[in-house]
Amino acid sequence: MDKEILEQGLNLNRRKFLSKLSLGVGSAALGSLLIPDLFKGGSPDEEAIMAALPHFAPKAKRVIYLFQNGAPSQLESFDYKPLLNKNMGEELPESIRQGQRLTGMTAGQSSFPLVGSYFKFNQYGESRAWISEIFPHTASVVDDICIVKSMHTEAINHDPALTFFQTGAQVGNRPSMGSWLSYGLGSENSNLPAFCVLLSRGKGNGQGVYSKLWSNGFLDATHQGVQFSNSEDPVLYLKDPKSMSRDERRKMLDQIAAMNDLSYREFNDPEISAKIQQYEMAFRMQTAVPEMTDVSKEPDSIIKMYGPDCLVPGTYAANCLLARKLSESGVRFVQLYHQGWDQHGDLPSQMAMQAKDVDQASAALISDLKQRGLLDETLVIWGGEFGRTNYCQGKIQLDNYGRDHHPRAFSIWMAGGGVKSGMVYGETDEFGYNIVENPVHVHDFQATMLHLMGIDHERLTYKHLGRRYRLTDVSGKVIKDLLA
Amino acid sequence: MTFKQIKIPVLVSLAAILFSCQEKNESSSTLTGIDQVSYNFHIRPILSDKCFACHGPDANKREADLRLDTEDGAFAALKESPGKFALVSGNLQESEVYHRIISEDPGEMMPPPESNLVLTEREITLIKKWIEQGAKYEPHWAFTKVEKPNLPPSDDWSKNEIDRFVLQKMEENGLEPNPVAKPHELIKRASLDLTGLPPSPELLDRFGDLTGENSYEDLLNGLLSDQSFGEKLAVLWMDISRYADSYGYQDDNIRGQWPYRDWVIHAFNENMPYDQFITWQLAGDLLPDPTKEQILATAFNRNHKYTEEGGVIDEEYRIEYVLDKTNTFSKGVLGITMECAQCHDHKYDPFSQQEYYEMFAFFNNTPEKGYEGDVSVSKPAKTPILWIDEQDLSGIMSFINYQDTSKLSVSVMGELGEEEKRTTYILDRGVYDAPSVPVSASTPSSILEFPKGLEANRLGLAEWTTNRDNPLTSRVFVNLIWQEIFGTGIVKSAGDFGMQGDLPSHPELLNWLAADFMENGWDIKRLLKQILSSATYQQSAEITKNHLAKDPENIYLARAPRLRLSAENIQDLVLASSGLLHQELGGPSVKPYQPEGVWEAASSGRGVLATYVQDTGKSLYRRGLYNFIKLTVPPPKAIIFDSSNRDQCEVGRGRTNTPLQALVMLNDPMVLEASRVLAANLEETYENDNEAIQMAFKRILCRDMNSEEEELLESYFEDQLKRFESNQDQIKPTLEVGEYPISSEQENARTAALMQVIVSLYNLEETITKI
């Protein structure tokens, strides 16, 4: 069959066809990796959604999300509550708790004694933000970050809370935020996925993360997060078999392409030519990804900045450095998870270790992006899935105590990408239990993040089984005060 | 609010149903071609998508107290504009709807700007024409009783009834059928569709050109009676029943639901009628004197996730589990998405929140608990439990493949006694601790009234579901089977037959198949044989200019589709064609090769699944269906090839084409090992290189290679042979993949070169495509 006619046929679905042939070439409309059936006519809905993007000029082009999995205590990090030290051991007043539900882990406790931070707090920078002594490096970049002390969520257990943060719903097979951005904006780099995931684990009490968290849900599988690992295969199945040189690989791909081409001539199915292109892209990824994960060419100054751990693959520090490299190369959304923040007991010693794992590299990432002129266009987020109670779980000792889950108030920070720097937003009561000023719901946070990326959270939708879904489900408002 | 009062005076006319979804894509200029605008096929999709969110079934979100989803509502006087009407039959100027949709005043226009919804010119024209023609309402097509339509006239091409309907649509759209596919293509196609396995060279040779004693019908009969049949169809049912080998949620420990999977395979192989298949799964435990097999079937309702996270609130999760059961039943069996009505009246479909909780009530009386302790006390099954002992295994449950003497336990259904029964409440916003009005078990009246005299329990629900008058069950299932075979259902949205779902491409064919299916005892094998015997199915897959111009999506089936195989069937094909496949029916799930650290990196570190302990020996070579599924970290290869993560009921999979898939096929140890073992065996069997390549080709592509292919493959082989002969040190590392032993004599340059040829064959687009 005549090639020209075929091309003409393809024009029916030009956008899809082009996107099939690229890993996402940066244009908003061309989207991401690939889309299923080439000839599945794009729904008018989806076409219109894509055509409208971005909804307004984006402040941020990329996101690096430093997820602190397990829920770090706000009371030992960014929410300074001297009253808890003063009233140490006294009962949490009912006027403050207001009968709020507790998890099954402390619901049975006969008493809820207040417990103050083991760590000292100081004020830093022009913003005079209070930061605990275990985050000295973060304190040194305090004027580049925006601390939000009034986050709140709906879930009280880890799994639903994590899922809520990442997908906007506590249960259900919804797409992760990185998948939404991949769907909406695609990748800026044709050799790397739009959404990459990096995992590390601290020494503190841990809670699992799972690939479900970076799932594409009902979006096309091309939008799923690609997990990087610290094994010799940084991306699953990337590495060629033993004794297979690049030349031999090239030769085999040429062989496969020649055979596929014969088949194309017989059936005229554009899926076949798309397949050939996919193999080419795989070949390019095999070079591009190892270049990313190789930190040997980084100068000493950078190594010093992130700390010696950044040379140890799989550590949080190494992942922060890798995140910078991926982001710099145009990866739309880099999602880190650092496990080990679930301090039901033994909080002072575990929290100190956890902070030591993440503090230097998190701050280094900010400084590094800044010195490269990238901080303005890169949104960095640091935080967990909820906060921790102001009362003690288990036995209370001055240097050893625990805190249960607390969804009603917790702290995160954001930096770069159009967020006001050197600001502390929101306030909790003197017990650190309830928000008294400027609450930020998880959906508000998500709406704000999308806004910074140039997206109206109510308009980035996907119609699945009759309903239009969005990251913020049915609520969420942009917090204008956070915008620079 | 109740929907029991809806009166639908206009009977659905067959003529209306004749409109197909093609018209959805027409430009406004061709609208003049539509003589009669149909509410079902033209108007409702527009109103539903653009208007019902504010003027539809949800009483709480209704604006201006106007509802457009019912005739009574739409023709009533407007409450906020006395004397005016939303719709006046045949009178455009008096119809407020028309003025609003053409208005450019932001305060007037509909939909309002803040909704982010816009009507296209075509949609406006359609609504205009509909009002002019009388603005007639019709009941939603999928909620009307299945009536068997008359057959279109006979013709020379048709082999059975299916073809008459399909040909009619083709002709209406200026298409004509493709020629019949080549015999080897048909053998491969049918084999993949009915068993999920490629035909062996022996089978290909035996059926040859499909004539004489080895006819196409003989082939179908043979494949339908093959035990692999149940395994093939079970993949679909595992997606629907969200089957997994772990509990999900954070610690995600192991569970033991696999005997249910063995039962599904067994039921399909025994050709259990679909109505019975559904009845047992919904309510096997409520049948008179239920057998253990009938109770095992009810595990269908218990495959959802269970939390073992310390500190959860028991009732919060118990409710979550009942919601999951309700949603799985409605999506997987009824093909409707009811979960919207969990929090509020459905915005598009006529299901109130009350009706949702009436359905929920059927599943709310089990002794199930929300939480039975954390991962440290985890057990393979949760209350209520079916215990299966050796005696059962040697008797009624002999289909369970279990080689141990310890008892098996499976989570199944049970019903609380009369005194212990729970009252079900509507839950405000769907939240467990916000019960409001008490309700009792019933089904949505818009689908089919719950017959008087039926007990309001799961058994009654099963009877309602399989009732001849239930408009959904049979349509939804025949559509799922159609989707299995042709890649896309007659209704594309296989899990949504509601207002927002896609319209059927061949409405009469769907009705005919559904009616015929019920008339013939809900016989699944018969249905498959019927479809595979059609001329429609037997066409070639070649794509012509005319196809691309007139039907690029292949809605009208003037050619066979070319479809990439499922993740499971790709594994099956690689193992079967290499000779490594270990065919054994059922049994505990297996853990084949998986890249290192996948489970470990994403784990709480607790429970027996914190580390991946790979199996060895024959367990490495089982069919894809048997791969162990850990919910929080599903098998990465399967996910890369679009399989369901089993988090919830799914009724269809995507079919992407990505670089990650290329990497899997090039570097997966399973593919490399299969290539190595096949190469070693062929190297030993055939002295002649060409013959060895020929046989490899036939095993993998299920046909003989042509001369161009032969040339390419031979020259690649020669090149690789030279490579290994001059680099002897590369032979051993190349052949060092996978456990399966080969003899040291087989470790030579020829095997290594042949292995590369075979890897390249496994990577061909055609290899993993059903043609």
The ranges assigned to domains in chain A are 63-239+282-482
Do A199 and B542 count as a contact with CB atoms less than 8 A apart? no
Task: Measure B541 CA to nearest chain A CA, in Å.
Answer: 7
- Number of structural domains (chain B) is 5
pTM over 0.95: no
**Residue B672 forms contact with A (CB below 8 Å):** yes
Cα distances from B571 to residues A17, A238, B203, B231, B732, in angstroms, run 28, 19, 20, 13, 25
Q: Return the residue matching tokens 């969420």.
A: A476
Query: Averaged over A282-299, what is the pLDDT?
Result: 92
Task: Measure A335 CA to nearest chain B CA, in Å.
Answer: 14
Helix, strand or coil, per DSSP, at residue B180: strand
Helix, strand or coil, per DSSP, at residue B436: strand
What is the distance between the alpha carbons of residues B726 and B728, in angstroms, rounded to a whole number? 6
Do A255 and B598 count as a contact with CB atoms less than 8 A apart? no
Res A3: pLDDT: 43
Q: Is B438 in the same domain as B482? A: no
State the count of interchain CB pairs (< 8 A) between A and B: 269
Q: Is B363 in the same domain as B481? A: no
Mean pLDDT of chain A: 88
Res A375: pLDDT: 97
**Residue B671 forms contact with A (CB below 8 Å):** no
Helix, strand or coil, per DSSP, at residue B85: strand
- For A65-119, what is each residue's pLDDT tens digit? 999 999 999 999 999 999 999 999 999 999 999 888 888 888 888 899 999 999 9
What is the distance between the alpha carbons of residues A54 and A75, in angstroms, rounded to a whole number? 38
Neighbours of B626 (CB within 10 A): 26
Examine residue B618 and state whether it is found in any structural domain, yes or no.
no
Scanning every residue of chain A, which has its alpha carbon at the shortest distance from the alpha carbon of B767? A260
Neighbours of A422 (CB within 10 A): 16
Task: Measure B402 CA to nearest chain A CA, in Å.
Answer: 30
- For B708-758, what is each residue's pLDDT tens digit? 999 999 999 999 999 999 999 999 999 999 999 999 999 999 999 999 999
Scanning every residue of chain B, which has its alpha carbon at the shortest distance from the alpha carbon of A49? B116
Do A190 and A458 form a contact (C-beta atoms < 8 A)? no
What is the distance between the alpha carbons of residues B590 and B621, in angstroms, rounded to a whole number? 9
Query: Averaged over A360-377, what is the pLDDT?
Result: 98
Residue B491 per-residue DSSP state: S
Closest by CA to A324, choosing from A266, A365, A265, is: A365
Q: Is B524 in the same domain as B416? A: no
What is the distance between the alpha carbons of residues A156 and A103, in angstroms, rounded to a whole number? 7
Among A21-35, A216-230, B186-200, whose mean pLDDT is lowest?
A21-35
Closest by CA to B516, choosing from B550, B563, B554, B482, is: B482
Q: Residue B401 has which token pair? A: 């493949």
**Domain boundaries A63-239+282-482, corresponding CATH code:** 3.40.720
Q: Is B215 in the same domain as B254? A: no
Q: What is the DSSP string of B229-285?
A: HHHHHHHHHHHHTT--SB--TTT--B---HHHHHHHHHHHHTT--HHHHHHHHHHGG
**Residue B726 forms contact with A (CB below 8 Å):** no
pLDDT category at A43 given cuts 50, 70, 90 is low
Label each residue of A73-130 as H, E or C: CHHHCCCCCHHHHHCCCCECCHHHHCCCCCCCCCCCCCCCEECCCCCCEEEECCCCEE
Which residue, of B465, B493, B520, is where some domain finishes?
B465
Res A44: pLDDT: 60
Q: How many helices (H) and strands (E) does chain B have?
A: 31, 6
Higher pLDDT, B767 or B452: B767
Res B80: pLDDT: 83
Among A128-137, B7-16, B402-411, B592-601, whose mean pLDDT is lowest?
B7-16
Which residues form the domain of B478?
161-180+471-550
- Which residues, in sequence order, are CB contacts of B721 under 8 Å at separation 6+? B689, B749, B750, B753
Sort out which chain B residues have CB atoms less than 8 A from A220's CB and list them: 654, 656
Higher pLDDT, B562 or B31: B562
Q: Is A26 exposed, middle or buried (0-12, 13-18, 19+ CB in 10 A)?
A: middle
Q: Is B333 in the same domain as B237? A: yes
What is the distance between the alpha carbons of residues A413 and A73, in angstroms, rounded to a whole number? 13
Cα distances from B741 to residues A241, B675, B729, B736, in angstroms, run 18, 13, 19, 10
What is the distance between the alpha carbons of residues B384 and B382, in angstroms, rounded to a whole number? 6
Examine residue B624 and state whether it is found in any structural domain, yes or no.
no
In this complex, which of B495, B601, B730 lies closest to A243 when CB atoms are compared?
Answer: B730
Residue B612 pLDDT greater than 90, yes or no: yes
Which residue, of B550, B575, B603, is where some domain finishes?
B550
Query: Averaged over B23-49, what is the pLDDT?
Result: 66
Total residue length of chain A: 484
Q: Is B235 in the same domain as B383? A: yes
- For B683-710, what is each residue's pLDDT tens digit? 999 999 999 999 999 999 999 999 999 9
Residue B4 pLDDT greater than 80, yes or no: no
Sign of the torsion angle spanned by Cα atoms B83, B85, B91, B97? positive
Test the A interface: residue of B247, B543, B757 with most A CBs within 10 Å: B543
Examine residue B496 and state whether it is found in any structural domain, yes or no.
yes
Q: Is B61 in the same domain as B189? A: no
**Residue B595 forms contact with A (CB below 8 Å):** yes
Q: Is B194 in the same domain as B209? A: yes
Which residue, of B436, B465, B494, is where some domain finishes?
B465
Q: What is the DSSP string of B161-179?
A: HHHHHHHHHHHHTT--PPP
Examine residue B9 and state whether it is found in any structural domain, yes or no.
no
Name the residue type at position B706: N
Task: Measure A265 CA to nearest chain B CA, in Å.
Answer: 10
Query: Averaged over A325-352, what is the pLDDT?
Result: 96
- Which residues, in sequence order, are CB contacts of B171 under 8 Å at separation 6+? none
Res A463: pLDDT: 85
Res A7: pLDDT: 43
